[in-house]
Structure formats: structure tokens, C-alpha cells
Amino acid sequence: MRQIETVRKRAAFFIGFLVAVLAWGGAVLAADLAGPRSGTGSADILDLPVCDSQAAVSAALRMLKRAEPVYRSAYAQSLSDIVETGVQADTTRLTARFCAADGVLNDDTVRRIYYRIGQRQGFVGLSWNVKACILGLDPWHVSGRDCRVVRISRQPAPVLIGR
């Protein structure tokens, strides 16, 4: 009898938890469907850290170090000469800040590093996240040729016909 009562309590807890998560998820979805907070997306840019902030630099270095075992190559230890190369702040929900820096790798070489700080790309879309690429050390083109995914593009992508 006692085991049945324990199972009932656990089931009630689980159902209550599930209802709470679904209600929270519905609120997040409703806010997401409402679109950007402003017509230009500029409010989202204010929520993103600047390129040379400690939070953004640390996140970029962590991301690059985490990718190192996959690439079997050097990883960045520090960034210098950090510049913002552009901002994507339009009516899309993918507001981003694009950055470039010189990175000192663990083998003491210096390479160009590009990174993108994206809004609503963190944990369940509630915060920002960083994607980074070391120019010339992306052999599988995970970030596209010449780190294209994390660099701002002012031209539309070419349309390939018949390939």
C-alpha cells in the first residue's frame, strides 16, 4: 500500500512539473511569435555584450578550446586587437554582433579569429551565445569557407543552379 502511495505522489509531482514546464514554454513561444521588441531589432543589440567585453571574449575562447579536440589543432589562448566588424539588427529574430580579433594560439602563432555574438541563441533561446572560427584552421568548413558563417556578409549568397 505504501508503495502505491509513493508512486501516486511521484506521478502527481511529475504531472505538476510537466504542466508548469508546458505553461512556461507556451509563454516563451508566445513572446517569440510576437517578434522582435522593436521594429529595427536595435533593442536586441543593446542586450548583447560588446566584442571586447570579458564575457564575450571568454565565451569565444571557451568555444574554440572546446572545439580543439575535434580539429586536432591549436586553440586560442588570448585575443587582441578586437574590433566590431558589423551588426545584424533587422526584423529577423537573429540579431547578432560580428567581431574579429588576432588570436594567440597555444603554439605561439597568431591567427585571425572571427566570432559572432548572437541574441536568442543561448540556452533555450533565452540568452546570447558565441560562435567562433580560427581562419585557416577549419578543415571541415564547419563555419563555412573562410569562416563565412561567423563573418558579416553584406552580399546575398550566390544561387547555385544545376549543381
Classify the phi-psi angles of 59: left when phi > 0, otherwise alpha if psi is within -120 to 50, otherwise beta: alpha
Q: Is the pLDDT of residue 141 over 90?
A: no
pLDDT digits (tens, 9 = 90+) for 14-72: 676 666 656 555 444 444 444 444 444 455 666 789 999 999 999 999 988 887 666 65
Question: Grid coordinates 558579416 are at which residue?
Answer: 152
In whole angstroms, give the CA distance from residue 63 to residue 55.
12
Per-residue pLDDT at 24 = 55
Res 61: pLDDT = 94
> How crowded is residue 10: how many other Cβ atoms within 10 Å of its Cβ?
10
Q: What is the pLDDT of residues 95-121, one digit of tens each?
A: 889 999 999 998 899 999 999 998 876
Which has the closest alpha carbon to 84: 96, 68, 100, 103? 100
Query: What is the residue-averaged pLDDT of the chain?
Result: 75
- The model scores a pTM over 0.75: no
d(Cα 51, Cα 35) in Å, to the nearest integer?
25
